[in-house]
Amino acid sequence: MGRARLFLLLALLTLTGFVTTLDNTVINVALPTVQRELGLTVTDLEWVASSYVLSFGALLLPAGRLTDLLGRRPVVAAGIVVFTAASAAAAVADGGGTLIAARTVQGVGAALVIPASLAVVAADLPAHRRSTAVGLWTAALAVALALGPVVGGFVTERWSWSWVFALNVPLGVLALLLVPAIPARACAGSPRRRGAGGTSGTGPGSGEPVRGGLDLPGVCWSVLSLYLLTYGLVRGGEHGFGAAPVPLCLGVAAFAACVFVVVEARAERPLVDLRLLRDRFLTGGVLAQMLWGIGVNGVFFFTALYLQRILGFSPTRAGLAFLPLAGALLLCTPLAERAARTLGAHVSIAAGLGLVALGLLYVSGTGLGAGYWDVQPGLLLIGVGSALTTPLTVRSLVRVPQARTGMATGLLSAAREVSGVFGVVLVGVVLTRRERTELRGGADPRGAFLEGYDLGLRLAACCVLAGALVTLLTLHRRGRHRRVVARGRVRVATK
């Protein structure tokens, strides 16, 4: 792969990761203005905020399978077109129903883009460039999370809330122009010759492409399970897990997940080949991804509240406080692959997760009188540690056949998305309960919030440390066999 194509491909991956993540947070600051101008109810406003993440999270598994069936370039292109068109529709929406529908379709486009983009990393980039690509992509996500409130507030104050969505259109067009940088490959349904890098037969360990169509029963049960799980977590985090219909949603989601497993085990061409989960690299990577996501997403969401409610930061300054974290992640990513080669990927990734946990503990102890620079050491530790974890995606997919990279990246993407929602909910529940206990005990509101915030971040640190343990146990290579090729004469050992 030439340098020009590599540069364009990295630009595409970074841009799509940035835009799809930014759209999840940029609307929050603009919601009061949207409610006032469109005359929305509180329920309407909740759907405007959550419809994107609901459709996004629910469709990641089917999107991964479509990537294997149709090819990476067509799915990325289709996702960008859908996302951009829906953004334009959201920008001109004149009512709550239109805006909610447009946000839902945006999530569909993002769900197509993300697994296909990660499949490009796993299947199309040179091996020594994959961790760099994942690092750039992760840094783009971090910058988007940090800049979401800043961009949303600036655009809403200076122009109009509709520009929050309209800005996606030129970015989407630019991303579409970069799509030809993805190498054109035969789709997963095409035959592959023996000796061309694959093995005869089919199965998770085979190089043979997957044939067949989309598993519609699997799609239905997976979408139902992920949609209701995500909705239940979001709704429960806002209104409590005893509020209707949260228990019903979570119960049906669990039932649908069980049915999905049974259906996939019997399907001839499943949406998710359950045999892939026998691969400890992939299973360990999914678990570690979830545990990391729980910790880091809790930091972004509740540290932003801490900076504004306790330290008195403006929304813009609170968002800018996270930029050094993203910068550290970006600058340290090139070191991640070197550390993985020197220490072993399982050790370097675990060390990165350990640094993230240490950063969480540091931030949790900054207190009431902290300033901008007081929180930076902890945030920088989180950035450096997250950089060291960037080989996690590549290592998780190391034994996945190329014909199933979309399926596997769909699993990883779904794990990351659900863990992000679960992280915010988990830390939020712990924070709220501790805050209420402190208030009943006579503490002042700022001190009560801080007590809950500290406890929530310490719990998040424990989750990340558990991810480090999972990494050490599952991602190391066992029993390396080195073949010695005799050159020149063959020496025969005799007694």
Confidence of residue 5 (pLDDT cuts 50, 70, 90): confident
Q: Measure the CA–CA gap between 225 and 409, rounded to whole angstroms.
A: 18
CATH code for the domain in which residue 300 is found = 1.20.1250.20
* pLDDT beyond 70 at 491: no
Asked whether residue 140 is domain-assigned, the answer is no
* 390 & 292 share domain: yes
* pLDDT beyond 80 at 314: no
Asked whether residue 190 is domain-assigned, the answer is no
Asked whether residue 199 is domain-assigned, the answer is no
Q: Measure the CA–CA gap between 455 and 270, rounded to whole angstroms.
A: 42
> Residues with Cβ < 8 Å from 32, sequence gap 6 or more?
none
- Mean pLDDT check: name the lowest of 95-99, 312-316, 491-495: 491-495
* 30 & 156 share domain: yes
Asked whether residue 19 is domain-assigned, the answer is yes
* 154 & 80 share domain: yes
| Mean pLDDT score across all residues of the chain | 81
- Mean pLDDT check: name the lowest of 122-126, 294-298, 463-467, 491-495: 491-495
Q: How far apart are the first and last CA of the chain?
A: 52
- The dihedrals phi and psi of 70, each to the nearest 5 degrees, come to -100, -20
Q: How many CB atoms lie within 10 A of CB 315?
A: 18
* pLDDT beyond 80 at 175: yes
Query: What is the per-residue pLDDT for 478?
Result: 62
Q: How many CB atoms lie within 10 A of CB 14?
A: 22
Amino acid (one-letter) located at 60: L
Q: Looking at 223, 242, 270, which one is the last position of a domain?
A: 270
Mean pLDDT value of segment 297-326: 78
Confidence of residue 203 (pLDDT cuts 50, 70, 90): very low
DSSP 275: G
Q: How many CB atoms lie within 10 A of CB 327?
A: 15
Residue linked to tokens 């406890």: 455
Query: What is the per-residue pLDDT for 185?
Result: 63
Q: How many CB atoms lie within 10 A of CB 270?
A: 21
Per the CB < 8 A criterion, the answer to whether 299 and 142 are in contact is no
**C-alpha R_g of the chain:** 23
CB crowding 436-471: b at 16 or more within 10 Å, else e: eebbeeeeeeebbbbbbbbbbbbbbbbbbbbbbebb
Number of domains in the chain: 3
As given in the structure block, the two tokens for residue 103 are 């946000």
* 310 & 419 share domain: yes
- pLDDT digit string, tens, across residues 390-437: 888 878 888 888 778 878 888 888 888 778 777 777 887 888 888 888
Confidence of residue 122 (pLDDT cuts 50, 70, 90): confident
Confidence of residue 174 (pLDDT cuts 50, 70, 90): very high
* 327 & 461 share domain: yes
Alpha-carbon dihedral of residues 249, 254, 256, 261, nearest 10 degrees? 160
* pLDDT beyond 90 at 356: yes
Query: What is the per-residue pLDDT for 349?
Result: 92
* 323 & 379 share domain: yes
Query: What is the per-residue pLDDT for 191?
Result: 41
* 227 & 304 share domain: no
Q: Looking at 270, 290, 313, which one is the last position of a domain?
A: 270
Residue linked to tokens 């340290």: 332
Q: Measure the CA–CA gap between 457 and 295, rounded to whole angstroms.
A: 7
Confidence of residue 488 (pLDDT cuts 50, 70, 90): very low
* pLDDT beyond 50 at 483: no
Query: What is the per-residue pLDDT for 358?
Result: 94
Per the CB < 8 A criterion, the answer to whether 191 and 209 are in contact is yes
Residue linked to tokens 């961790």: 131
* 364 & 393 share domain: yes
Asked whether residue 203 is domain-assigned, the answer is no
* 317 & 416 share domain: yes
- pLDDT digit string, tens, across residues 125-173: 887 778 778 778 877 877 787 677 777 777 877 788 888 889 899 999 9
Per the CB < 8 A criterion, the answer to whether 351 and 344 are in contact is no
- pLDDT digit string, tens, across residues 19-44: 988 887 777 767 778 888 888 776 77
Burial grade of 316 (CB within 10 A; 0-12, 13-18, 19 or more): middle
* 342 & 438 share domain: yes
Alpha-carbon dihedral of residues 317, 322, 326, 327, nearest 10 degrees? 60
Confidence of residue 481 (pLDDT cuts 50, 70, 90): very low
CA 284 to chain centre: 16
Domain range for 448: 274-477
3-state secondary structure of 495: coil
* 284 & 297 share domain: yes
Asked whether residue 207 is domain-assigned, the answer is no
CB crowding 167-189: b at 16 or more within 10 Å, else e: bbeebbeebbebbebbeeeebbe
Q: What ranges make up the beta strands (E) of 42-151?
A: none
CA atoms within 13 A on the CB side of 248: 3
CA atoms within 13 A on the CB side of 407: 27
Asked whether residue 138 is domain-assigned, the answer is no
Which contiguous run of DSSP H or E holds residue 144? helix 127-158
Confidence of residue 366 (pLDDT cuts 50, 70, 90): confident
- pLDDT digit string, tens, across residues 251-309: 999 999 999 999 988 888 888 888 888 889 999 988 998 888 887 776 777 787 788 77
Q: Looking at 225, 255, 270, which one is the last position of a domain?
A: 270
Q: What is the pTM of this model?
A: 0.76
Mean pLDDT value of segment 180-191: 62
DSSP 308: I
- pLDDT digit string, tens, across residues 213-265: 778 888 899 889 888 888 888 777 767 788 888 899 999 999 999 999 999 88
* 246 & 350 share domain: no
Asked whether residue 14 is domain-assigned, the answer is yes
Query: What is the per-residue pLDDT for 104?
Result: 92
Mean pLDDT value of segment 81-100: 92
- pLDDT digit string, tens, across residues 94-113: 888 899 999 999 999 999 99
